[in-house]
Amino acid sequence: MQNVKRLAVGLLPHRLVMIQTACLLVGAFAVFTAQASAVIRFQDRSLFIKSSLPGATTQYKVSLTYNNQGVYTTTVGSIDLLFCLDPVPSEPITPYNPVDHHPCVAPTGLDVSHATLSAQSGEAGFTILSQTTNEIILSRPPASVAETPSTYIFDNIVNPVDTSHSFAIRLSDYPTVDATGTLINLGSVLSQATDGVVLETQVPGILVFCVAGQVNDNCIGTSGINYTDMGTLDPTKTLMATSQMGAWTNASGGYSIVTYGTTMQAGTHVISALTTPTQSAPGNSQFGINLVANTAPLLGLDPAGSANNTHIDANYAIPNEFMFHDGDEVASAPNVSFVKKYTVSYIVNSPPDIRPGVYTTSLTFLFAFDLKGKQVWNTRLENFPTILDFGAGRGVLIEGLLTSTFSGRLAGADILPRPPTLPASRTSSCAPELADWARGPRADRCGRTPR
């Protein structure tokens, strides 16, 4: 019996231990089950920040989908948005959990105290109930929610300044209107302030201008020479010629085309330049130009090209009327302009008593403006004059000019041949050059033939 008693005594504590262990297991199972069932997360959470620059005042777009699976209620009256460095929600302080292992530390520099709710979609009807530097509480009359994607846009949020650490928005919703009580859904979205990637590019300023007998679109090609023989002066008819110029620019200030030069002249004998727009009248002393199509005489073309913002000066835009004044602006564009092709028409009329001679002129069309449309060249350009020496280049005039800095065309007229020691050209430019009128014209280095 004694042994039996000992056995009975020994078994009692064993049974007690088993019962206590079973109770602990049941208790632990109950605790863990309760925690797992409480964590219902928002679905499809995202955060879009319009500018990620540190300290920038910008727009935040928070998107989420409510999760009604397993929640204790589908009625939502408020949403809490808490901005922290750590995305993990805080744990309730209890005797069994005396320390919050995930406290909310506000990101340095972040400020949502002046944020405004500028737009919302999906589950809407919210307004800002309260806000601090790192928390916004949205509130509405409690109402049932569906599993609908929802978006909330906030303006005037100041980004954190720390680019070395991410930050989060801890999201939670409640059936109450002030984010108190037991939460329904929770979740977090992460982001980070960055300096970003700066991409820079440059569009170079372009000014394109070409002048020739004929020019192609965009000045990709020209044809014809820059020297025209208009023929023999006759008081009964008008001498005519044309040239073309193309222009385009991407400069915001556009462009301006100015013409420099003189009227037709032979030494001291001058054909009068038309000082106002005037019709061509054979038998009168007239020299002028315009930039439009004419019918009397039949000459020239209207401007052509895709640009629709170009302008011809009014004095040079009247059909059948011509004028010329040194230094006049003849065409322009106020800003960026696509290609425009201008045709310049020239007319010369002479009176019956005009003095004999070789009447010439050289006109320069200047396209010298900066990328803002400001003229950067104001100095008048001198033309290449033609000096006619009656002496076949044997006189002191030609010899003196050749030893000077003269730049122009020298022509000798005599029945005698040109001296073999007289150079055909002094420089590598088109002028000066010498022509032997007794033996016929001689082409210069630019392919022009003096008349």
pLDDT at 421 over 60: yes
What's the mean pLDDT in 398-422? Answer: 60
Quote the pLDDT of residue 235. 94
Q: Give the pLDDT score at 227.
A: 76
User: Residue 319 is encoded by which pair of tokens?
Assistant: 């059909």
DSSP string over 93-135 = PBTTB-S-SS---PPTT-B-TT-EEEEEESS---EEEEE-SSE
Domain range 40-191, its CATH number among 3.30.160, 1.10.260, 2.60.40, 1.25.40:
2.60.40
pLDDT of 361 above 90: no
- Kindly tell me if the per-residue pLDDT of 355 is higher than 80: yes
Domain ranges of the chain: 1-38, 40-191, 207-380, 384-451
Element (H or E) spanning 23, and its range? helix 2-38
- pLDDT in the model for residue 445: 38
Calculate mean pLDDT across residues 215-239.
86
What CA–CA distance (Å, rounded) separates 137 from 188? 15
Taking alpha carbons only, the member of 323, 407, 411, 402 closest to residue 359 is 411
Mean pLDDT of 279-291: 96
**pLDDT for the residue numbered 387:** 54
Q: What mean pLDDT comes out for the span 360-375? A: 67
Rounded CA-CA distance 410/402 in Å is 9
Q: What is the pLDDT of residues 104-137, one digit of tens each?
A: 999 999 999 999 999 999 999 999 999 999 999 9
What distance in Å separates the CA atoms of residue 157 and residue 111, rounded to the nearest whole number?
A: 6
Which has more pLDDT, 431 or 362? Answer: 362
- Mean per-residue pLDDT for 251-263? 87
Q: Which residue has the higher pLDDT, 405 or 156?
A: 156
* Helix, strand, coil % over all residues of the chain, rounded to 5: 10, 35, 55
- Decide if pLDDT at 428 tops 50: no
> Given pLDDT bands bounded at 50, 70 and 90, which one contains residue 370?
low
